[in-house]
Amino acid sequence: SAVISQKPSRDICQRGTSLTIQCQVDSQVTMMFWYRQQPGQSLTLIATANQGSEATYESGFVIDKFPISRPNLTFSTLTVSNMSPEDSSIYLCSVGRQGTNEKLFFGSGTQLSVL
């Protein structure tokens, strides 16, 4: 399995500020994704992080609110911008190691609370 490190594991932030979440993988992976899990809910895909190019966003998510970087095949960041209490969620990165969608692994998640 892939070893995925996500930082921070949790944070409490003030309304209007931004938080950048990091996802580091122990080896090169072709697929990296960012998901959101709102309280008591299932997971929803925010975007696919593309190496060396702009991320591909799902309906309802925009780059200005959730800018994503992926400078190489082992690292990605997700920024939650201009936060409001509605952004309080768990944010998880997911990776696919083998260049296919077999075996998709998740990081431990970032628990974000916005006051």
**Rule CB under 8 A: is residue 111 a binding residue for other proteins?**
yes
* From candidates 46, 89, 107, 112, binder to other proteins by CB under 8 A: 107
**Rule CB under 8 A: is residue 102 a binding residue for other proteins?**
yes
| Beta carbon nearer to other proteins, 25 or 107 | 107
Residue 38's alpha-carbon distances to 41, 61, 85, 96, 97, in angstroms, are: 5, 14, 11, 23, 26
* From candidates 46, 92, 112, 114, binder to other proteins by CB under 8 A: 92
* Cis amide bond preceding 8, omega within 30: yes
**Rule CB under 8 A: is residue 106 a binding residue for other proteins?**
yes
Query: Taking a C-beta distance cutoff of 8 angstroms, is the pair 20, 91 a contact?
Result: no
Q: How far is CA 1 from the centre of its chain?
A: 19
Within 19-78, the residues that bind other proteins by CB under 8 A are 31, 33, 35, 41-45, 48
